[in-house]
């Protein structure tokens, strides 16, 4: 996988080139507005930031988010309920603590806590992104709230969707795009087709359709095909998705265009849950519709201080519905149906102003300002049906009253250069959030005040300064802040069943992060290296705490209670979010590249890349951070033939075992605190992958890869860390053995 990191170079020429691009058009007409820039960070940040484009995603057979981070040490996909993904894990945190945006629009937060997800009645995961819609993606490790707002305390994942250039080549009027693919690990079939056209003075339109069909992810080896927690093979799954992406650009006049965007994603997943228990079988139907619309006006100005202006209205709707039919295992009769649904609706107005490069006695500067207003409404609706001999009993209720979250943000940043040796960037952002609960006609959750209005605000900043040293070296220092306002789940979600409780905490404070890193990088003919040491401190870290409490038995003293010899006090298990004083993460990251032709005189196109990540962390209470990823090292050896007709890459990965100390967790009950470690830990493993591409013609490319070539048996830590399973059934969670993936891409 080739990452397109621009080599560290002086900011001054880049800014001057940007200024020149704003002058009178030569080869390219002025009405061809630039694509939305990736809101990532400078490549000078070394191993902490990586960017991929659509061609690289196809070349590396990226079928889902796990494939996206396959070769990103220190980043993993947070395993969600029933094999779904639930965001990303970076720098010891995961889920809503890693911001995910699509064209600058924040994606939906998880609506339910992990303890409730284990019941399996609602997946409650973050909405996924159709990766075939993606033009580019930036992965950034470290606090990043100036760019991404609430949630960016551990890092961010920033997606930018395709534009007309992905369908119609420059200078052409019409274009077509097609792709087919197959991944053996879950028998997934992929088909993509798209058409685009340019017309008028810069106007264009395109539409892309994507279809996926797949099964459950295969495990390693055999296993018992039985009912219950000792089941050794995965539950049968059938899944499919359909997606649309379309954009219409209408240029009113030269340099002034209006863009209408529509994106739709429909996911369905049918699971026959045979591993839940030996006395029942569950048929589970998950649906996850996702819609996004945008109306944006963009202007590229030919003179004056302002170079680029953009303002737009963005809308997003994300729903999840799960219908669970529970059958008695012996009688095969339907006895219960759980219909659980949730919905999040977003509306956002956002405006951006970018200046021309400003040159003066204080160097050269490129300024940008952004303002946004938003509102998110979250709600759930649940219907339980009990099929009994005397008839059907139906219960409708909410786990959380509808919640509305209003947001306001103001952001300003400056990229600058002083002379030939010093450059950098600074930024400042103010965010305000207001949570409010609404009344409902359904049965309300208990133990939560009806008003429930909460306000949070945060001021975030970042600064990065780089100094060019002799001998091709550069030293960079960066400091950045992040924050996450408590979510609706933290503040309002309540759940109770059989003496187990999840209780909200309305007194939570926002989580905060301070990240510092020092990077030494070097660029020479035929080689480059970048080493980063970093430390992140989290304040008011929100963790789910488990505790036990004794309550008076309400039946105590009654005749029936005396007859049964019941206890005076009963034990209740309580899960609730709490602020932890501090948590910390520190470590080292290295990336080095080698051009074997330039440095060693070997064949042209032969090269290598080495990446290493080592991270440690913990909390002020002595607990570990379970989202920390095991240490990892990767060596890639690649060859690309002349004119990129074909190429191949061999990737060697060494992943160390998960440290037990990182999984330590303290529980609190009436006997006092007690600590324990995770029951299952991922094993050390070395993996070998082999991938290749072949350009069959100028328009058609075949990409293929064989993964886990040596057929090693291992477990992913993010699959194991939340498991509560009989050890005899652990095999069904093993990673796939040797498997392959391929895709054929055509563009005409």
With contact defined as beta carbons under 8 Å apart, do 126 and 239 qualify? no
Rg of the chain over CA atoms, in angstroms? 27
pLDDT of residue 670: 63
Strands 155-161 and 98-102, by their bridges, are parallel
d(CA 620, CA 743): 48
Do 50 and 480 form a contact (C-beta atoms < 8 A)?
A: no
For residue 230 the two structure tokens come to: 């000792």
Q: Would you call 222 exposed, middle or buried from its count of C-beta atoms within 10 A (0-12, 13-18, 19+)? A: exposed
Which parts of the chain have pLDDT scores under 70? 1-45, 80-84, 111-127, 278, 439-452, 498, 563, 669-671
Give the side-chain half-sphere CA count within 13 A for 609.
18
Determine the pLDDT at residue 82.
46
Bridge partner list, 132: none
What DSSP designation does 5 have? P
CA distance 128 to 337: 26
Query: Which is nearest to 634 in space by CA: 50, 43, 44?
Result: 50
**pLDDT for res 621:** 82
Which tokens sit at 509?
A: 């404070």
Let me know: does 397 contact 429? Beta carbons within 8 Å: no
Beta bridge mates, 192: 179, 210
DSSP count for the chain of H helices, then E strands: 9, 35
Residue 731 φ then ψ, to 5°: -60, -30
Six-digit token string for 223 = 């296993």
Alpha carbon distance 536, 554 (integer Å): 48
**Which domains are present in the chain?**
11-747 (2.40.170.20)
Q: Closest Cα to residue 367, out of 375, 358, 376?
A: 358
Query: What distance in Å separates the CA atoms of residue 407 and residue 244, rounded to the nearest whole number?
Result: 29
β pairing state of 75-79 and 49-53: unpaired
Q: Residue 636 in 3-state DSSP?
A: strand
The encoded tokens of residue 621 equal 């209470």
Distance CA(657)–CA(77), nearest Å, equals 17
Provide the β-strand partners of residue 337.
325, 385
């Amino acid at each position: 996988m080739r990452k397109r990191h621009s080599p560290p170079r002086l900011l001054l020429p880049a800014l001057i080139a940007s200024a020149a691009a704003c002058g009178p058009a030569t080869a390219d007409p002025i009405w061809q507005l630039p694509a939305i820039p990736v809101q990532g960070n400078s490549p000078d940040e070394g191993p902490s930031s990586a960017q991929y484009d659509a061609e690289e995603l196809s070349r590396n057979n990226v079928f889902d988010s796990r494939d996206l981070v396959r070769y990103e040490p220190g980043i993993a996909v947070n395993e969600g309920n029933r094999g779904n993904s639930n965001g990303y894990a970076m720098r010891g945190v995961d889920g809503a603590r890693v911001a995910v945006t699509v064209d600058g629009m924040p994606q939906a937060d998880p609506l339910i806590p992990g303890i409730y997800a284990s019941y399996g009645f609602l997946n409650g995961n973050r909405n996924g992104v159709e990766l075939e819609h993606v033009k580019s993606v930036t992965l950034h490790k470290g606090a990043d709230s100036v760019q991404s707002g609430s949630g960016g305390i551990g890092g961010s994942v920033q997606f930018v969707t395709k534009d007309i250039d992905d369908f119609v080549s420059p200078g052409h009027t019409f274009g077509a795009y097609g792709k087919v693919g197959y991944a053996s690990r879950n028998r997934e079939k992929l088909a993509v087709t798209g058409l685009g056209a340019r017309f008028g003075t810069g106007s264009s339109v395109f539409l892309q359709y994507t279809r996926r069909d797949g099964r459950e992810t295969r495990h390693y080896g055999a296993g018992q095909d039985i009912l219950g927690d000792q089941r050794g093979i995965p539950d049968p799954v059938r899944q499919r998705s359909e997606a649309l992406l379309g954009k219409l650009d209408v240029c009113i006049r030269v340099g002034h265009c209006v863009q209408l965007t529509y994106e739709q994603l429909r996911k369905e997943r049918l699971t026959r849950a045979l591993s839940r228990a030996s006395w029942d079988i569950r048929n589970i139907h998950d649906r996850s519709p996702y819609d996004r619309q945008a109306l944006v006006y963009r202007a590229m100005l030919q003179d004056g201080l302002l170079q680029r202006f953009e303002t737009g209205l963005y809308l997003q709707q994300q729903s999840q519905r799960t219908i669970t039919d529970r059958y008695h295992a012996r009688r095969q009769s339907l006895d219960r149906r759980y219909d659980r649904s949730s919905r999040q609706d977003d509306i956002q107005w956002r405006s951006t102003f970018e200046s021309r490069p400003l040159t003066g006695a204080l160097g050269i500067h490129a300024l940008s300002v952004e303002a946004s207003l938003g509102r998110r409404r979250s709600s759930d609706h649940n219907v339980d049906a009990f099929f009994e001999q005397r008839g059907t009993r139906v219960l409708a209720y909410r786990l959380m009253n509808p919640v509305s979250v209003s947001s306001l943000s103001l952001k300003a940043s400056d990229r600058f250069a002083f002379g030939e040796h010093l450059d950098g960037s600074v930024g400042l952002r103010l965010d305000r959030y207001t949570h409010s609960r609404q009344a409902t006609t359904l049965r309300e959750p208990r133990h939560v005040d009806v008003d429930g209005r909460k306000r949070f605000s945060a001021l975030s900043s970042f600064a990065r300064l780089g100094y060019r040293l002799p001998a091709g070296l550069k030293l960079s220092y960066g400091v950045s802040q992040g924050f996450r306002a408590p979510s609706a789940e933290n503040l309002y979600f309540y759940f109770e069943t059989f003496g187990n409780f999840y209780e909200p905490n309305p007194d939570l404070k926002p989580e905060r992060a301070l990240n510092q890193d020092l990077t030494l990088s070097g660029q020479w003919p035929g080689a480059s290296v970048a080493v980063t040491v970093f430390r992140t401190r989290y304040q008011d870290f929100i963790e789910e705490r488990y505790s036990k409490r004794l309550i008076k038995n309400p039946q105590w003293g009654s005749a029936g209670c005396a007859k049964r010899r019941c206890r005076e006090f009963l034990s209740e298990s309580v899960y609730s979010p709490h602020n932890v004083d501090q948590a910390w993460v520190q470590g080292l990251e290295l990336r080095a590249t080698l051009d074997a032709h330039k440095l060693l005189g070997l064949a042209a196109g032969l090269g290598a890349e080495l990446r290493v990540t080592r991270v440690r962390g913990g909390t002020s209470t002595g607990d570990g951070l379970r989202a920390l990823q095991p240490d990892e090292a990767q060596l890639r050896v690649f060859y690309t033939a002349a004119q990129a007709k074909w190429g191949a890459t061999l990737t060697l990965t060494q992943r160390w075992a998960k440290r037990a100390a990182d999984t330590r967790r303290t529980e609190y009950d009436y006997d006092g605190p007690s600590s324990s470690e995770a029951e299952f830990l991922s094993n050390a493993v070395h993996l070998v992958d082999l991938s290749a591409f072949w350009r069959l013609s100028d328009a058609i490319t075949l990409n293929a890869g064989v993964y886990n070539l040596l057929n090693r048996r291992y477990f992913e830590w993010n699959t194991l860390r939340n498991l509560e399973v009989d050890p005899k059934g652990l095999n069904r969670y093993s990673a796939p053995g040797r498997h392959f993936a391929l895709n054929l891409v055509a563009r005409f």
